Structure formats: structure tokens, C-alpha cells
């Protein structure tokens, strides 16, 4: 973010914090809740891991839909994906997460789901153009993994997906869904929300007969500026909205 823009977002005195103090479990439950409303809502499908400093991972349980999760539902896993804390079961596809975390220790959050419009583009085997500013909030290649060999709970498929993802931030999985990785909860929200917005907007524009995409020379610098520094206050605003609607997400 350039110096002038940084000055615009310099800290100013506030009457109250942007968010109450949240545990990592509460952060993850909130991320699931807000992404559900962004289109990550294929019934009980989908899983997010949140790597902790001690090497353990937090993850949403297999049995619960993303819009019903609360802080106390979140599981803790060891580095192999075994549940060590919590009263639910972990997804059989946890190997996708363990494989990516093992290869990319800087990645803190991994999201996999069958987002509504992201999956449409994945099924079509196409990468959506960037038609508007919001779709350009994240830069970098949107990978298309265009072979569907097996469900990701197969050990070999989890490893193959991790290898194909490489150092990318996100990917479309042909005939399946999407993967998004990030180094924080707020960045994970930005990337996942931007991906689904981009996919939905491109679908709608092309349904009208098409439009003029933003040139890469414009989109890339914009995405680099926003994604590398985060979109100030965005995650907090979406989390507050969810808490206003259902404060029971927090255990205390």
C-alpha cells in the first residue's frame, strides 16, 4: 500500500473496538458463517483449517453446516489430522489440508468448498475474467486444475491437489469446487469473497452477452495493493454483522 493511502487508514481514536476479543475458534466459526452468506453453502460440504503457532490446526466439524457453527464446535487437530480436542468428527478430506500445510508452512488458513459460482466456472473448465474493481481485489494466477480423478478424501488426490496448487493463492477444481489459501483470517475472507464475487459477476456479465474485462496491467497492481496489505476494516465489518444477527456464536 502506498504512503498516501496508508495515511488515509492511519489509526484514529475510536469509541469502541472494531471487534470484541475473539479466540481463534471464534474467528474460524465467524469465517465459516460469513462465507456461507457469500455462496460457500453446499449443505454440509466444505472445510477450513486454521494453523496455530503450536503446530495444531483448528477445523470446522464434518457434521455441521457452516451457518450453524459456534465457537465451541471447532475441533483441534494434530499435524497428521487427528482430532485431539472437540466433540465432533473431522472431514475425511482433511489430507488436502495436511498436504498443503506441510508444503507451505507460511499458509495459516486453507478453505475448500463448492462455492456456487466458483463451481460453475470450475465445471465449465474456464477462468472467469475480471470485469469490475471488486473482482480485482486479489491478484495472481487463478489456477484451473482441470482433471477430476477422485474425491479429495483419497490420499493420492489430496497430495496431487497440493502439488498442482503450488504457490498459488487460489484455484478452481474442475467438476468439484474451489481452494483458497491465506496467511490470516482476514486475508482468507478477502480472497474467498473476492473469488466468489468475481465468478458471480463474470457469469452475470457474460449472460448479458459479455463485456470489456479490466486489463491485467490495471487489475494486477490493484490486487497487489489490496491483497498484500488487506482491505482495511472489511473482515471486521462482516464479522460484526454476523455477531449482531447471532451473538450465540461466542461461548462467553
> pLDDT tens digit string along 56-73?
999 999 999 999 999 999
Determine the pLDDT at residue 18.
93
Give the residue from 91, 21, 89, 84 showing the smallest Cα distance to 55. 84
Which residues, 6+ apart, have CB-to-CB distance to 83 below 8 Å?
75, 76, 77, 89, 90
Mean pLDDT of 206-215: 97
CB 130 within 8 Å of CB 136: yes
| DSSP β-ladder status, 57-59 and 75-77 | antiparallel
CA–CA distance, 40 with 38 (Å, rounded to integer): 6
Mean residue pLDDT of the chain comes to: 92
Determine the pLDDT at residue 159.
87
Mean pLDDT of 208-235: 95
Q: What percent of the chain has pLDDT over 70?
A: 90
Asked whether residue 6 carries a pLDDT value surpassing 70, the answer given is no
pTM: 0.92
Centre a 10 Å sphere on the Cβ of residue 100 and count the other Cβ atoms it contains: 21
Domains and CATH numbers, the chain: 23-244 (3.40.225.10)
Mean pLDDT of 170-195: 97
CB 48 within 8 Å of CB 181: no
Determine the pLDDT at residue 155.
65
Determine the pLDDT at residue 16.
78
The 10s digit of each residue's pLDDT in 89-130 is 999 999 999 999 999 999 999 999 999 999 999 999 999 999
The 10s digit of each residue's pLDDT in 223-233 is 999 998 889 99
Asked whether residue 25 carries a pLDDT value surpassing 60, the answer given is yes
Mean pLDDT of 61-87: 97
Q: What is the largest CA-CA distance in the chain?
A: 54
H-type alpha helices, 108-215: 116-124, 155-165, 185-207
Looking at per-residue pLDDT, the higher value among 149 and 146 belongs to: 146
Asked whether residue 217 carries a pLDDT value surpassing 90, the answer given is yes
CB-based burial label for 184 (10 Å; 0-12, 13-18, 19+): middle
**Residue found by looking up cell 475473539 in the block:** 22
Residue 156: pLDDT band with limits 50, 70, 90: confident
Asked whether residue 1 carries a pLDDT value surpassing 70, the answer given is no
Asked whether residue 149 carries a pLDDT value surpassing 90, the answer given is no
Mean pLDDT of 167-190: 96
Which residues, 6+ apart, have CB-to-CB distance to 204 below 8 Å?
none
Mean pLDDT of 207-226: 97
Amino acid at each position: 500500500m502506498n504512503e498516501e493511502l496508508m495515511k488515509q487508514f492511519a489509526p484514529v481514536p475510536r469509541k469502541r473496538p472494531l471487534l470484541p476479543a475473539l479466540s481463534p475458534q471464534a474467528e474460524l466459526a465467524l469465517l465459516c458463517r460469513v462465507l456461507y452468506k457469500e455462496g460457500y453453502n453446499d449443505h454440509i460440504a466444505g472445510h477450513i483449517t486454521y494453523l496455530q503457532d503450536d503446530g495444531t490446526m483448528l477445523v470446522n466439524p464434518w457434521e455441521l453446516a457452516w451457518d450453524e457453527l459456534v465457537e465451541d464446535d471447532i475441533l483441534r487437530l494434530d499435524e497428521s489430522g487427528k482430532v485431539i480436542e472437540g466433540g465432533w468428527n473431522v472431514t475425511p478430506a482433511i489430507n488436502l489440508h495436511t498436504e498443503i500445510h506441510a508444503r507451505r508452512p507460511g499458509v495459516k488458513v486453507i478453505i475448500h468448498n463448492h462455492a456456487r459460482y466458483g463451481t460453475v466456472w470450475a465445471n465449465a473448465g474456464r477462468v472467469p475474467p475480471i470485469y469490475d474493481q471488486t473482482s480485482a481485489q486479489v491478484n495472481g494466477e487463478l489456477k484451473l486444475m482441470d482433471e477430476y480423478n477422485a474425491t479429495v478424501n483419497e490420499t493420492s488426490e489430496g497430495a496431487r491437489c497440493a502439488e498442482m496448487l503450488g504457490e498459488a493463492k487460489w484455484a478452481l477444481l474442475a467438476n468439484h469446487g474451489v481452494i483458497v489459501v491465506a496467511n490470516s483470517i482476514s486475508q482468507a475472507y478477502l480472497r474467498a469473497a473476492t473469488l466468489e464475487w468475481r465468478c458471480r459477476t463474470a457469469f452475470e456479465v457474460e449472460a448479458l452477452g459479455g463485456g470489456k474485462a479490466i486489463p491485467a496491467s490495471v487489475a494486477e497492481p490493484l490486487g497487489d495493493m489490496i491483497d498484500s496489505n488487506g482491505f482495511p476494516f472489511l473482515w471486521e465489518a462482516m464479522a460484526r454483522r454476523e455477531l449482531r444477527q447471532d451473538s450465540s456464536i461466542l461461548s462467553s
